[in-house]
Homo-oligomer: A and B are copies of this chain.
Amino acid sequence: MILKSQVEWALHCCAILAGLPEGRYLSTKALAELHGLPKEYLSKALQSLSQAALVDTTLGPSGGYRLARSSSEINFLDIVEAVEGKARSFTCTNIRENNPCRPAGYCDSKPCAVARIMWEADEAWRDTLRRVRLSDLVGILSEEVRPDLWQSTFEWVLKRAG
C-alpha cells in the first residue's frame, strides 16, 4: 500500500504556489526544475489538481498555475485525494458470501465487520490529513528552512512567475 510519488510532488508544488503573490502564475516547467522532476509527468499531477479545482490555470507565456483559494482553505486531504483518488484503501470483496454453509437467499443486514473496521482506520487517516491546512505546512517550512535558502528560493520563483 504505497501512495504515488505524484502525491509528494503535488504537496511540494502547492507549498510553492502558496508563496506566490496574488494573481501570478508559475509554470510546470519552473515547478519541475525547482524540484528536479520530469516535466511531462509532473504535468499530469498538476492537471489532477486543476480538475479538483484546487488550482487555477492560464495559458500562453507567463501562464501556469496558482492556488484557486487561499492556503488556509486547502488541506492535505484535498491535495492527496486530488492525485490519489478518493477510493478507500481497503476494498471488501465480500468473501463471506462464499461460505458453503450459507442458506440460499441469506441476506446480510450490514457491510462486513472486517471492512467496517478497516474503513474506520481509513477515516482516521483521512481525518488527520483533513486537519492539516496547506498554510500550516508553509508555516512550518518558513520556520525550519534556513532563511538564506528560503529567500533565494522565493526570488528564484518570482523571477519565473508570470
Which A residues are closer than 8 A to B by beta carbons? 1-5, 7-9, 11-12, 15, 33-37, 76, 84, 87, 89-93, 95-103, 106, 109-110, 113-115, 117-118, 120-122, 124-129, 132, 137, 140-141, 144, 146, 148-149, 152-153, 156
Contacts and interface: CB of A to CB of B under 8 A. Distances in A.
A8 to B, nearest CB: 6
Question: DSSP majority for the A interface?
Answer: helix
Contact of A141 (B84, B92, B113): B113
6 contacts: A3-B91, A8-B92, A12-B95, A15-B114, A36-B98, A76-B121
A100 B156 contact: yes
Nearest to A121: B128
State the oligomeric state as a number of copies.
Answer: 2
A145 B24 CA distance: 59
A2 B1 contact: yes
